[in-house]
Amino acid sequence: MTLTVTPQPSSPLTVESRNSGPKQPVGLAEKFSRVRQATQALCAGLSAEDCMVQSMPDASPVKWHLAHTTWFFETFILAPHLAEYRSIDPEYRNLFNSYYNAVGDRPLRDKRGVFSRPSLDDVYAFRRYVDDAMLKLLEGDVSAELSDLVVLGLQHEQQHQELIVTDMKHGLWSNSLRPPFCESPSKAPNGNVPRLKWHRYPAGNFEIGHQGQGFSFDNETPRHTTYLQDFQLASRLITNVEYMQFILDDGYRRPDLWLSEGWETVRTPGWEAPLYWERRGENWWDYTCAGMRVVSLNEPVCHVSYFEADAFARWAEARLATEAEWEVAAAQAPVEGNFLENGTFHPVATSDKDAGEGPVQIFGDVWEWTQSAYSPYPGFKPAAGALGEYNGKFMCNQYVLRGGSCATSQSHMRASYRNFFPAHARWQFSGIRLAKD
Amino acid sequence: MTLTVTPQPSSPLTVESRNSGPKQPVGLAEKFSRVRQATQALCAGLSAEDCMVQSMPDASPVKWHLAHTTWFFETFILAPHLAEYRSIDPEYRNLFNSYYNAVGDRPLRDKRGVFSRPSLDDVYAFRRYVDDAMLKLLEGDVSAELSDLVVLGLQHEQQHQELIVTDMKHGLWSNSLRPPFCESPSKAPNGNVPRLKWHRYPAGNFEIGHQGQGFSFDNETPRHTTYLQDFQLASRLITNVEYMQFILDDGYRRPDLWLSEGWETVRTPGWEAPLYWERRGENWWDYTCAGMRVVSLNEPVCHVSYFEADAFARWAEARLATEAEWEVAAAQAPVEGNFLENGTFHPVATSDKDAGEGPVQIFGDVWEWTQSAYSPYPGFKPAAGALGEYNGKFMCNQYVLRGGSCATSQSHMRASYRNFFPAHARWQFSGIRLAKD
Amino acid sequence: MTLTVTPQPSSPLTVESRNSGPKQPVGLAEKFSRVRQATQALCAGLSAEDCMVQSMPDASPVKWHLAHTTWFFETFILAPHLAEYRSIDPEYRNLFNSYYNAVGDRPLRDKRGVFSRPSLDDVYAFRRYVDDAMLKLLEGDVSAELSDLVVLGLQHEQQHQELIVTDMKHGLWSNSLRPPFCESPSKAPNGNVPRLKWHRYPAGNFEIGHQGQGFSFDNETPRHTTYLQDFQLASRLITNVEYMQFILDDGYRRPDLWLSEGWETVRTPGWEAPLYWERRGENWWDYTCAGMRVVSLNEPVCHVSYFEADAFARWAEARLATEAEWEVAAAQAPVEGNFLENGTFHPVATSDKDAGEGPVQIFGDVWEWTQSAYSPYPGFKPAAGALGEYNGKFMCNQYVLRGGSCATSQSHMRASYRNFFPAHARWQFSGIRLAKD
Amino acid sequence: MTLTVTPQPSSPLTVESRNSGPKQPVGLAEKFSRVRQATQALCAGLSAEDCMVQSMPDASPVKWHLAHTTWFFETFILAPHLAEYRSIDPEYRNLFNSYYNAVGDRPLRDKRGVFSRPSLDDVYAFRRYVDDAMLKLLEGDVSAELSDLVVLGLQHEQQHQELIVTDMKHGLWSNSLRPPFCESPSKAPNGNVPRLKWHRYPAGNFEIGHQGQGFSFDNETPRHTTYLQDFQLASRLITNVEYMQFILDDGYRRPDLWLSEGWETVRTPGWEAPLYWERRGENWWDYTCAGMRVVSLNEPVCHVSYFEADAFARWAEARLATEAEWEVAAAQAPVEGNFLENGTFHPVATSDKDAGEGPVQIFGDVWEWTQSAYSPYPGFKPAAGALGEYNGKFMCNQYVLRGGSCATSQSHMRASYRNFFPAHARWQFSGIRLAKD
């Protein structure tokens, strides 16, 4: 984790809430409090029992997310930087470690669901205890190094905010009662999705990677030159109705459309639609954070794996974009869209009135699978110590997704952001944008 | 499930509490309330989060036990016998089915831990709702058939009381904090465990199986003749210190002591002691319902599999008893011992002063593995309908255990009772009594 | 392995060929040669490549059987009893060990198919080398102990003769070309299978187990008393056409007919008929040692698991016999039937003209599943040393089969013989005889 | 499979044997015969039994390779292009299909070892039959399309020549006798391996991919521009003694050196050295095609996975090259080195006298893992029809290796050649060359 924050009075860090009006510099303590409170606001409607659910090894209980994000501040900031700090419970050090070998042992990932103790109340007490210590630490002079660590901790917490939504969605769906995660219905789709068009980009050398202003993760650096051939990018995301055509055309039954490993993945569990889709009579229904409903035709298709995105693209005689192509196209776009702050927790349909010069729906709604395997950028150097385990060690057999989703904080997103998941993963809000040569 | 209850005024059913003083006939409604309350009393110290834990596929969450036992009364008694009965939630019918194919679908057994909804409060409300309906049903004339079903439901609930203890013990132990299930320490062991002696039984034809008075499960019937050779039975259970000698003598490293499948079972996960034992420096510690403590030498060894019991017996140049031998020896013994009602949730050491004519520790403390595969008795007939799935369909690749444990209700036990588990199971309170030719 | 051979001039050992005319005492050396040659005669039509095939972990390559039976004589007889004996290759000691932990390491069972070296020719040379040494050993005075060991080695070899047939049948069937194992077609079924009748046996104490004359395995001893209730035994085996009725009546789709573990076993691989059956249009075909053909209606059903035999019996409102019942009924029957010596390698239909006083098809044709779990007889003692691993350590989670099959040597069979396989095994010639209370 | 052969009189195809002296145009029929014979020459020392071995699902029996390469000519050339052609056995069509879904069904990959029939003799007869038909076809006018297909078939056969060596090596090693694959000892290492130096390459735009002369696979096209940062490439391969330092420095026990998935891979089977290494007392031994011997210190390390190559590089404070870097560096190097034609089947040590201007050991000896995930080149288009399944569908979760090995035909190699295997694969001759920024 190489922090590349360049503190500048006029370049506020990116953790402000969305509609903060005329920009006022916000202090670090205030930023800290806002992000921490936002996490708890997400969980306000969940019971202690809900927060225990671990419905598959890839997902974690919400209680674990609440504790682990707190552990991060304790382990990497309070323990080394606040002399008088004493842990509320020394056992938490191992209990809430995720994957940092340098920090010590930890429970098996797929056993996080057995932790009834500490209770949710105890975890909230742990949060308050750490928050109090953090605010005390931030009262005084804050070194650049410390400030960078705090910002990293907040970015880390925002990542777990997204996982709280996706893991809890999966957990509640795993219950045959299919209870909703939230009451807010997703926005009604409007009438017209514009026809899919192609935006052309000429070949040449381009710079990609983080610019050096504001925060970024180490995997976005160093900024570097890459050569791109001519390419075209679709003007919008693929919709549910377009994806249904793929299904109707036997998309899930034709091996010629699939990567070999994708074909195995599809056949073994018998996939025949995106995750959360369910056929009831004539209709496809899907499970949303607001419960079961008929699939909305104009919304972006969501909860597809890399394998499905790739097969769809082949069927459509197109391909997925590389991450460099995507970043070049996204560089001009404002970081606006349907983000976590909207509270819909679901992608929404675009319409003619949203159309601009370039592609729309670049940010928010759904993460866009790229065809790029997750690899180090030329010259990439992970940080020394435990924080070096944050990103680099996962650069194998995963694929890059770009743009953020309806479960991502707007203040967390930027054009150079690299998310990554294995090719079979479907429980994130992941969708499809096509590209062509 | 062939019910063989023969109602007799002088032969009260077996669900009274232990110290009921001079026997007074207790009405069925009163029995019902006592058993149902006893279940909830067991869970009084558990949080809603504790009641969610499923730490392995063989164990179920306490909340599930609370709901499933209630479902049993609703499905097999209220629905068919109380005309105006309406379910509190029709979804519960499938949600809390355990394994009755004739009743319909059900969630996968290893996914019972994902059910945050209904909440524990909802499950308690379900219990109250069903209890009210049951008491209403029991107010009027109760037919013999109905009475038999109610008694069966209570026996079923008592089985789940035991599972609540063993599953929750496993669940809390799976938490690296090793929190206790209860505050009550197990009784301090007294000084002297009597030397192990052998009681001799001459050959001949014997009757085993349920006598026809009071309740029994269908698998205890019909009572039938069997021929036994001369045999000897150990005067008491094997103790921890005796088991330690087996360990010290490389008992877990000598294939000649083990059944072939047992040897595979031991080697794969690397067992080297009973479940819940943990080496800390020079000492063995074990996890009890009251938390971690040094292994108490004189207590009966507990949480061993059939494979371990069999290997220990071979090492000791003895064998396990058959279930018929055990039952013949137990026929004279009073059904007394260290049962659930004691609240220790742990086996206790015997002492000279407990010694009598025959073997001691026959009932309570730990289930005693027999060498008998679980098979139908000659002439066995399971009941028609869904309740026929109660016992018979499990008569394959399991072994019979006898005598009940510290987690079994005294009122649930009798000499003819046949418990059964697979040869590798260790999370029940299961121990060892030796036999010889 | 307790040998109970009582050498008696008038009681020849049981390894003679079937039609040996007026009984002449046959010397041990001659017996040895006959059995060893019979093994090789079985393999005469197989190529070196055929003898390499291992189509599943439970089956072994024929080459391995040829070598392992030879290893048995080398390890347990030549090495300890022939002073000047030197192994042809010391590596064979571990290479061809099956499961004797006391002898040392061995290759993994499921990797026996990778052994291209030693070649089949080398293995035949190994056989000749050991045969020569054995014959030399048998030239002189042969102690009773040595004679017992030789007989045991021959009985062991006959067991592997049966496995050569069943393992090679499975191996060739695993090849999509379905090549035959032998040219000889199975006998054409004759017209009339007699109606199934019931033979009644009154209750009482009976002796079962080996009598003490001739050879037996240790697991058949000691002979002992057992009490049996009244029972009835079917007059013949269940036929293919009777089994088809079970299939047509949705036998494979009704969970109420199955043991719980059987139901899981059926559903996972999707069994819907005996092993080797294949639906082609309107007909069931099956793979026999002579290749694919239409299922012959009157032949005994074969290649069914314990689970299927048990489910069929339940469907037929009957049950399987216990092994004690079977042995009592078989005690009077002559050891005659369709054995390996016939060379059909397939069960044949019975007919009216075969009918006698008691049940027919008791011996030969197919092994008959009993409902008895494989357990030690009262007073059972395995031999000291490595040979004690022969039988006793497998007495767990297996079921007893009785009577021998069309792949068993007639001279290998007797009423007290206990074969055993896990409940899911189907690749032996295993079938169904019903019993009733 | 887009064939990009541009027939030019002066640009002979690449299948000539190595020492062909002054280049004479070699006719296609002659090329065909040479490659086909070379395959059989490789197998000359193998018995029919050896050719049956399948020691793991990733490896195939040699007999299968011999048949499948022949099937390729029959299916893609003779069937569509030789009117009178009749298959020697129509069953072979499915039997020897590898993974072409468009061709039809096929046996499971991990069951290729059960095919004793057809025999090795039959497979050789199949080869002769197809060879005769091919030579007849090549007698007349050969269209450019047909010529391209034949060349593809020969390249395909050369790939399987390499697999014959690596699969048979693994198969023989799986036999605890560790028999050799060939008699020829690998060359004795000479005294001095030159010190590892770094060659520098300046940043800029480069062209990579196949040039358009001679044969290439579709995955090497289209040739395209890519931008490279400054980089350095090691002058030679990493040697065994260098790798031993990594082992001694606890390389296999420090999670900080490993990718997360690599660490899991190492720990589960307990890897602690390259495949085929075995500790005997003080020394490491390894299994070579000539049998077991002490590890030769100066030879290139071999049989390491991507995970091990990556961990070694991290330990050495370097990294693996990208495939583009490798190709730019290799573009000037002659395609010379230790190839299959040498008959050593083992990498050999380099020495000072081999040193030239640029890096040595670029071609031959061992495949060099690159850090590049196997992905389509910009503008990549797989061929229509079944041959389109050759490469493209495997572009997921695999890594690119470059340069060929001691088991690769020299005439098969070129700078643009892209081999690919999953990150855990070790049974190929795969080694390590370092790079740096």
Minimal Cβ distance to C225: which of B227, B375, B394? B227
- Residue B224: Cβ-neighbour burial (10 angstroms; 0-12, 13-18, 19+): middle
| Structure token digits, residue A401 | 């997704």
- Contacts by residues D204-213 (CB-CB < 8 Å, ≥ 24 positions apart): D204/D228, D205/A205, D205/A227, D206/D324, D206/D328, D208/D323, D208/D324, D208/D327, D208/D328, D208/D416, D209/D377, D209/D416, D210/D4, D210/D414, D210/D416, D211/D416, D212/D4, D212/D6, D213/D6, D213/D8, D213/D11
- pLDDT value of position D389: 81
- pLDDT value of position A12: 28
User: How do beta strands A419-421 and C283-288 pair?
Assistant: unpaired
* H-helix or E-strand spanning residue C294: strand C291-294
Nearest to D218 by CA among D383, D386, D330: D383
Q: Is the pLDDT of residue A97 over 80?
A: yes
Q: Is B280 helix (H, G, I), strand (E, B) or coil?
A: strand
- pLDDT value of position D271: 96
**Chains with ≥3 CB–CB distances under 8 Å to A:** B, D
- pLDDT tens digit string along C332-390? 899 999 999 999 999 999 987 766 778 999 999 999 999 999 999 999 988 777 788 88
Note whether C393 contacts B260, CB cutoff 8 Å. Answer: yes
**pLDDT-wise least confident of A294-303, C5-14, C346-355:** C5-14
Where are the alpha helices (H) located in B174-233, listed in sequence order?
A: none
**pLDDT-wise least confident of C4-8, C68-72, D24-28, D313-317:** C4-8
How many whole angstroms separate alpha carbon A393 and alpha carbon A382? 9
What residues in A contact B53, CB-CB < 8 Å? 52, 113-114, 116
Q: Is the pLDDT of residue A9 over 60?
A: no
Place of tokens 């800029």: D204
Higher pLDDT, C304 or C391: C304
User: How do beta strands D337-338 and D363-364 pair?
Assistant: parallel
Phi, psi of D34 (to 5 degrees): -60, -45
Q: Is the pLDDT of residue C14 over 70?
A: no
Q: Is C225 helix (H, G, I), strand (E, B) or coil?
A: strand
Nearest-CA distance B320 → chain C (Å): 11
Q: How much of chain C exceeds pLDDT 70, in percent?
A: 92
- pLDDT value of position C184: 64
Q: Is the pLDDT of residue D1 over 70?
A: no
What residues in B contact C395, CB-CB < 8 Å? 259
What residues in B contact A172, CB-CB < 8 Å? 116-117
Minimal Cβ distance to B261: which of C229, C255, C396? C396
Minimal Cβ distance to D179: which of C117, C171, C177? C117
Q: How much of chain D exceeds pLDDT 70, in percent?
A: 92
- pLDDT value of position B186: 54
Interface test with A, best of B53, B114, B167, B181 (most A CBs within 10 A): B114
How many whole angstroms separate alpha carbon A162 and alpha carbon D55? 45
Chain B residues bordering chain A (beta-carbon distance below 8 Å): 47-55, 91, 94-95, 107, 111, 113-120, 171-172, 174-177, 179
- pLDDT value of position C103: 83
Nearest-CA distance B184 → chain C (Å): 39
- pLDDT value of position B2: 37
Residue pair D194/D353 in contact by the 8 Å Cβ criterion: no
* H-helix or E-strand spanning residue B36: helix B28-42
Note whether C95 contacts D177, CB cutoff 8 Å. Answer: yes
- pLDDT value of position A5: 33
Nearest to B394 by CA among B420, B418, B372, B371: B420
- pLDDT value of position D58: 94
- pLDDT value of position C407: 97
pLDDT in tens, chain B (437 residues): 333 333 333 322 233 333 444 455 679 999 999 999 999 999 999 999 999 999 999 999 999 999 999 999 999 999 999 999 999 999 998 999 988 888 888 888 888 999 999 999 999 999 999 999 999 999 988 999 999 999 999 999 999 999 999 999 999 999 999 999 987 655 555 568 899 999 999 999 999 999 877 899 999 999 999 999 999 999 999 999 999 999 999 999 999 999 999 999 999 888 999 999 999 999 999 999 999 999 999 999 999 999 999 999 999 999 999 999 999 999 989 999 999 999 999 999 998 776 677 899 999 999 999 999 999 999 998 877 778 888 889 999 999 999 999 999 999 999 999 999 999 999 999 999 999 99
Q: Is the pLDDT of residue C22 over 60?
A: no
Nearest to D307 by CA among D422, D195, D424: D424
Q: Is the pLDDT of residue C228 over 50?
A: yes
Q: Is the pLDDT of residue D330 over 90?
A: yes
Q: How confident is the model at residue A142 (pLDDT cuts 50, 70, 90)?
A: very high
User: D252-261 burial by CB neighbour count: b if 16+ within 10 A, else e?
Assistant: beebbbbbbb
- pLDDT tens digit string along A216-266? 999 999 999 999 999 999 999 999 999 999 999 999 999 999 999 999 999
Nearest-CA distance A376 → chain D (Å): 9
Round the average pLDDT of chain A to a whole number and report it. Answer: 90
DSSP state of A212: S
Minimal Cβ distance to D378: which of A229, A263, A395? A229
Note whether A52 contacts B116, CB cutoff 8 Å. Answer: yes
- pLDDT value of position D392: 87
Q: How confident is the model at residue A378 (pLDDT cuts 50, 70, 90)?
A: very high
What is the pTM assigned to this prediction? Answer: 0.92
Q: How many CB pairs under 8 A join C and D?
A: 84
Task: Work out the average pLDDT over A378-403.
Answer: 89
How many whole angstroms separate alpha carbon D338 and alpha carbon B168? 64
What residues in A contact D373, CB-CB < 8 Å? 373, 375
User: How do beta strands B337-338 and B363-364 pair?
Assistant: parallel
What residues in D contact C115, CB-CB < 8 Å? 175
A/C touch flag: 3 or more CB pairs below 8 Å: no
Note whether A393 contacts D260, CB cutoff 8 Å. Answer: yes
Helix axes B306-315, B240-248, angle to 10 degrees: 70
Q: How confident is the model at residue A21 (pLDDT cuts 50, 70, 90)?
A: very low
Note whether D396 contacts A372, CB cutoff 8 Å. Answer: no
Minimal Cβ distance to A174: which of B95, B111, B177? B111
- pLDDT value of position B391: 85
How many whole angstroms separate alpha carbon B403 and alpha carbon B369? 9
Phi, psi of D80 (to 5 degrees): -80, -20
B350: Cβ–Cβ under 8 A, 6 or more apart, which residues? Answer: B193, B194, B236, B237, B300, B360, B361
Nearest-CA distance D178 → chain C (Å): 9
Q: How confident is the model at residue A185 (pLDDT cuts 50, 70, 90)?
A: low
Q: How confident is the model at residue A329 (pLDDT cuts 50, 70, 90)?
A: very high
How many whole angstroms separate alpha carbon C191 and alpha carbon A374? 71
Sheet holding C419-421, edge to edge: C419-421, C399-402, C367-373, C430-431
- pLDDT value of position B187: 59
- pLDDT value of position D355: 67
Q: Is C163 helix (H, G, I), strand (E, B) or coil?
A: helix
Interface test with C, best of D66, D114, D178 (most C CBs within 10 A): D114
- pLDDT value of position C186: 54
CA angle, A327 then A328 then A329, to 5°: 90
Place of tokens 């797929």: A110
ipTM of the assembly?
A: 0.91
- pLDDT value of position A146: 95
Q: How confident is the model at residue D16 (pLDDT cuts 50, 70, 90)?
A: very low
Q: How confident is the model at residue A187 (pLDDT cuts 50, 70, 90)?
A: low
Nearest-CA distance D1 → chain A (Å): 14
Place of tokens 């196949």: D210
Q: Is the pLDDT of residue A332 over 90?
A: no
* B208 strand-pairing partners: B224
Task: Work out the average pLDDT over D385-408.
Answer: 92
Note whether C260 contacts B99, CB cutoff 8 Å. Answer: yes
Q: Is the pLDDT of residue C173 over 50?
A: yes
